[in-house]
Amino acid sequence: MAHKGSCHCGDITFEVDGEIDQVMECNCSICSRKGYLLWFVPRDKLRHATPEHHMATYTFNKHMIQHHFCLRCGCAPFGEAKGPDGNPMAAINARCLEDVELKSLKTVQHNGRDK
């Protein structure tokens, strides 16, 4: 199934393929402040529909995850990194997906604060 998503103002739009079986709610400093609900997919399932120059990128701590956000509205729809297996992956902010009922998703808690 293809899902469409965007930042708040629409400068960043994207599509991602897959079934959302669960989302992760992490308590690390950035995830808790931004309110992320993350859905992880292989990177090749994410397609940017707008030019990458519309995005800024923020990294912190170990600089492993590229947190992308909109230059205009500041919304952060996804990030990119390597998964535990070393393969490229994308962390999609489910709050930025169209037509997804967040209450219906299984939410798994992750203790990123203590990592």
Q: What is the mean pLDDT of the chain?
A: 93
All domains of the chain in start order, with CATH? 2-109 (2.170.150.70)
**Higher-confidence position of 93 and 62:** 93
Report the pLDDT value the prediction gives residue 43, as an integer from 0 to 100: 97
| 99: number of Cβ within 10 Å | 7
The answer for residues whose C-beta is within 8 angstroms of residue 32's C-beta and 6 or more apart is 26, 113
Give counts: helices (H), strands (E), the chain: 1, 10
In this prediction, residues 104-112 reach a mean pLDDT of 92
Report the pLDDT value the prediction gives residue 81, as an integer from 0 to 100: 94
pLDDT tens digits, 47-79: 999 888 889 999 888 788 899 999 999 999 999
Q: Please give the distance of CA 107 from its chain centroid, rounded to a whole number.
A: 15
Q: Flag whether pLDDT at 14 surpasses 80.
A: yes
Report the pLDDT value the prediction gives residue 115, as an integer from 0 to 100: 67
